[in-house]
Amino acid sequence: MNSATGSDDPRDYLVEQSFENYTETDHATWRTLATRQREILKGRIANQFLEGLDRLGIGQEGIPDFRVMNRRLREATGWEVVAVPGLIPDLAFFRLLADRKFPAGFWIRKPEQIDYIEEPDIFHDVFGHVPLIMQPVYADYLEAYGKAGLVAAEHGALKRLARLYWYTVEFGLAQTPDGLRIVGAGIASSPGETIFALESQSPNRVRFDLGRVMRTLYRIDDYQETYFVLDGVEAWPSLDLDRLIPLWQHLEGQDDIKPGDLQPEDDVLAQGDGSYHAAKAKSAA
Ligand code: HBI
Ligand code: FE
Atom of ligand 1 nearest to the CA of 166: 16
| Residue 160 burial (CB count, 10 A) | 22
For the chain, the domains span 10-284
The answer on pLDDT for 2 being more than 60 is no
- 272 Cβ contact list (under 8 Å, min separation 6): 200, 201, 202, 203, 204, 205, 225, 226, 260
Q: Is residue 93 within 6 Å of ligand 1 at its C-beta?
A: yes
| Residue 191 burial (CB count, 10 A) | 16
Mean pLDDT of 157-172: 98
Mean pLDDT of 106-133: 94
The answer on pLDDT for 198 being more than 80 is yes
The answer on pLDDT for 116 being more than 90 is no
> Which 8-state DSSP code applies to residue 192?
H
Digit-coded pLDDT (tens) for 43-59? 999 999 999 999 998 87
Mean pLDDT of 123-127: 98
Which residue has its alpha carbon closest to ligand 1 atom 1? 87
Mean pLDDT of 201-209: 98
Tell me how far the alpha carbon of residue 1 lies from the centroid of ligand 1, in angstroms.
7
Q: Is residue 126 within 6 Å of ligand 1 at its C-beta?
A: no
In this prediction, residue 3 carries a pLDDT of: 63
In this prediction, residue 61 carries a pLDDT of: 87
Mean pLDDT of 95-120: 94
Type and span of the H or E element at 230: strand 226-230
The answer on pLDDT for 114 being more than 90 is no
Q: Is residue 102 within 6 Å of ligand 1 at its C-beta?
A: no
Digit-coded pLDDT (tens) for 217-269? 999 989 999 999 999 999 999 999 999 999 999 999 999 999 999 999 999 99
CATH 3.90.600.10 fits 10-284, yes or no: no
282 band by pLDDT with thresholds 50, 70 and 90: confident
- 197 Cβ contact list (under 8 Å, min separation 6): 171, 173, 182, 184, 187, 203, 223, 224, 227
What is the residue-averaged pLDDT of the chain? 96
Question: Is residue 210 a contact partner of residue 220, using CB atoms and an 8 Å limit?
Answer: no
Question: Is residue 41 a contact partner of residue 127, using CB atoms and an 8 Å limit?
Answer: no
In this prediction, residue 18 carries a pLDDT of: 97
Percent of the chain with pLDDT over 90: 91
Q: Is residue 161 within 6 Å of ligand 1 at its C-beta?
A: yes
- 185 Cβ contact list (under 8 Å, min separation 6): 124, 125, 128, 129, 132, 169, 170
Lowest mean pLDDT among 2-16, 75-89, 100-114: 2-16
